[in-house]
Structure 1
Amino acid sequence: MHGVWRTAAVRRAEAELMRGLPPLALMHRAAAGLAATCTQLLRAMPGKHAGAYGAHITVLAGPGDNGGDALLAAERLIRQGAQATAIAVMGERVHRQALRAFRDAGGRLATTAPTHTDLLIDGIIGIGGRPGLPERAVQLLETIHPRLTVAVDVPSGVDVDTGAVPGPAVNADVTVTFGCRKPAHVLGDAALRTGYLDLIDIGLGPYLECEGYLQVPTLDDMIEQWPFPDELDDKYTRGVVGIAAGSAEYPGAAILATAGALSGPAGYVRYAGAAKAQVHNHHPEVVGTDSVATAGRTQSWLIGPGSGTGEATAHELKQVLARPVPAVLDADAITLLAQSPHLLANREAPLVLTPHDREFERLYGTAPGDRRAEAAMALAKRLHCTVLLKGHHTIVADSDGTVYVNPTGHPALATAGTGDVLAGLVASLLAAGIPAARAAMMGAFMHGMAARAVASEIVSPVASQIAAELPGTIGALND
């Protein structure tokens, strides 16, 4: 699991670390890591096999430490044989000591930008800056055509703590960050501008708050935590999941949600609803019944995909929420809950809500906007539940303050029915005894992995193809 820290926490940690260091020591550490990454990138370029030797570097240097990091890294590259040009984006405002070292090494300070360069180092604005770029920076970025762009800490112009990109910003191929990940690396449009993220250890770890603002799961987390059955399990000990989904108008939602549940760890799936014949035709393993009341014992429930918002679904929702087992509310069930939030008044068992932005707005009263992690956390605390806010970077927020950001999102998931598959998978994880926030996080991660696998073979996969890929994707965790 990777932690993510906001600017204020990073600043506090840096201040503690620098108390025991000579002046500029931390900047030199950062510059050394940045220069090493740049050397590797240059070595990988066609015709640049000697690394920095003979390469042309352009530095866009802002007035702060971010610009200083860039200039000191360029100084190191010059000493390896590179030619380097620096432009002080804010005129006379530039880190003087770093500029002196850069020029002493043979670097050139220019007022006009070269049209072409091997490597552009973005040192315009660091984590302490406001989002957006000065007009001079925008003009320079339009003029320069680099083979690669490397951002220092974060791409300049982004909102570091939210990931929003409200105006012009650097679009990096690689971002070299120091000490820890920041929200802009994993949230919003900023994450899409980060490119490949290279994390440099500068000794900050012991000074960071023990828990980051956000947590980003990894494949190793899935391998360690996935509840595969063992020799002593039977279909009941693996967990029984109930699915109340679909309708005469939308039987496909029931089929897809059930497929998601079957791909997960639960050993038994019970379906309750109007589409039981269609579900049984597609999934003969599933036991079908007409209603939640007649479904028998389960360890979790999913309700809502394709169910409609009529009285029958409202009645079934009350039945599900009255049961002392974990539940997932998706789609139409979320709309009904938004109309009748009192239904949660006596609810104590774990609850996972899986809204997209419009459903979130119905529940919360306002859209999540740019502060998606904060919005999801606020809703989770208000309703005492887990919120899985769907999007390219899906957020999972728990009422205890834990927030995960899923790193496996893929455009292939932007198609009808994929949310039904995800909801079924999360319900299956709940039935297997996985805690709510972790179940939502793990479901989103593996759902994204399956989408990526299908998309590597099919240009525009549909939800049923992603569902069919899930068992193999999950099974690979156990190889």
Structure 2
Amino acid sequence: MGFTLNSTGDRTILRPTLVPPSPDSHKYSRGHAMIWSGPPLRTGASRLSARAALAVGAGLVTLVGDRPALLEHASHVTSIMLREADREFGFVDDRVTGFAIGPGAGVGQALQHVVLGLLGRGVPTVLDADALTTFEHHTDILFDKVGLTDVMTPHLGEFQRIFPDISVDSRQDAVRQAAKTAGCIVLLKGPETWIATPDGQTLVNRHASPWLATAGSGDVLTGLICGLLAQGVPSFDAASIAAWLHGDIGTRAGPGLTADIMIGHIPLVLRGCLNDAPEYGSRSRT
């Protein structure tokens, strides 16, 4: 599949355009997304991310972690693969095209080691939740390893933990300064989600819903970004498109929305983005 980012002159993200895969596509041509699992009894968050990455179009998705955690996953998933982690990071082969780590991962030196090791593999990586918080007092180490193809996805609390010297009075200014400081794409979640590049480019997603304020919603967003990265979508575009898709899920689903239910709405949201789909509402592309 091919995704095109659309936006207005005032930096507002619009409905993206989706072109279906070519007839000769196969699973590896659609990308291999890999998600780092949380430990036993905390596997749900990473599983949500993996399911979202698969639904948004990645050809293969693998959950990687310790065997006890994988045994938990095995009772829940069928189309998602499982792989045991190793200390040499040999599980990240040349076919892995997108990685996500953080949801339900826990904090501490062990996770720091994993994050830094993964960043050294050169695969576009989404850093969320615990993968950010675990560097609260060691941000210089993290910022030294992340690169232009990596994406940080903090909510406001996480943002203030890893960027304590940046004022959030203006979220646009805050995310722009954070991206420059970290040297990667930064997505600041909120009612208006701002995304920035290290060179100062910013976009905002205003297409959202308060029904998204539910446990696991951010894990789904992480999976959407990872799934798009795996398909070769540039990191800034992937973060921006995923923010809009995430918001559209909330807008379509409405009351009673849970993170589990969100996965089932992804195909409907994508169908509305097909290049021959009619525009809805008063939106227009630029």
Could you tell me the TM-score, scaled by structure 1's length?
A: 0.52
Task: Give the counterpart of 1:385 among 180, 184, 190.
Answer: 184
1:285 counterpart residue number: 79
| 1:207-226 equivalence runs, <5 A | 215-219=11-15, 222-223=16-17, 226=18
CA contact (8 A) 1:397 1:404 kept: yes
2:118 counterpart residue number: 320
| 1:197-276 equivalence runs, <5 A | 215-219=11-15, 222-223=16-17, 226=18, 228-274=20-66, 275-276=69-70
Deviation, 1:398, is 1.0
Moved more, 331-340 or 271-280: 271-280
Aligned partners of 2:114, 2:233: CA distance in 1, in Å? Answer: 24
| 1:118-267 equivalence runs, <5 A | 215-219=11-15, 222-223=16-17, 226=18, 228-267=20-59
1:334 counterpart residue number: 132
Deviation, 1:290, is 2.2
- After superposition, the Cα gap between the structure-2 partners of 1:312 and 1:256, relative to the gap in structure 1 and judged at 3 Å, is same
Aligned partners of 2:176, 2:231: CA distance in 1, in Å? Answer: 25
* CA distances 1:191-217 after superposition (whole Å, capped 9, x unpaired): xxxxxxxxxxxxxxxxxxxxxxxx112
Aligned partners of 1:228, 1:394: CA distance in 2, in Å? Answer: 27
- After superposition, the Cα gap between the structure-2 partners of 1:418 and 1:287, relative to the gap in structure 1 and judged at 3 Å, is same
* CA distances 1:438-457 after superposition (whole Å, capped 9, x unpaired): 100000100110111111xx
CA contact (8 A) 1:254 1:279 kept: no
Could you tell me the TM-score, scaled by structure 2's length?
A: 0.86
CA contact (8 A) 2:37 2:64 kept: yes
* CA distances 1:294-327 after superposition (whole Å, capped 9, x unpaired): 4242111100000000333222212211111100
Deviation, 1:366, is 4.1
1:443 counterpart residue number: 242
Q: Unaligned regions of 5+ residues in structure 2, if any?
A: 1-6, 278-286
Q: Which amino acid aligns with 2:126?
A: V
Matched, 1:3 2:9: yes
- After superposition, the Cα gap between the structure-2 partners of 1:400 and 1:349, relative to the gap in structure 1 and judged at 3 Å, is closer
CA contact (8 A) 1:321 1:343 kept: no
Deviation, 1:408, is 1.3
Q: Which amino acid aligns with 2:180?
A: K
Q: Unaligned regions of 5+ residues in structure 1, if any?
A: 5-214
Deviation, 1:460, is 2.7
**Secondary structure, in 3 states, of the residue corresponding to 2:126?**
strand
Deviation, 1:349, is 5.4
CA contact (8 A) 2:176 2:202 kept: yes
Higher relative contact order (CA 8 A, sep 6+): 2
* CA distances 1:32-51 after superposition (whole Å, capped 9, x unpaired): xxxxxxxxxxxxxxxxxxxx
- Residues paired across the two proteins, number: 262
- After superposition, the Cα gap between the structure-2 partners of 1:367 and 1:260, relative to the gap in structure 1 and judged at 3 Å, is farther
2:220 counterpart residue number: 421
Deviation, 1:370, is 2.5
- After superposition, the Cα gap between the structure-2 partners of 1:345 and 1:467, relative to the gap in structure 1 and judged at 3 Å, is same
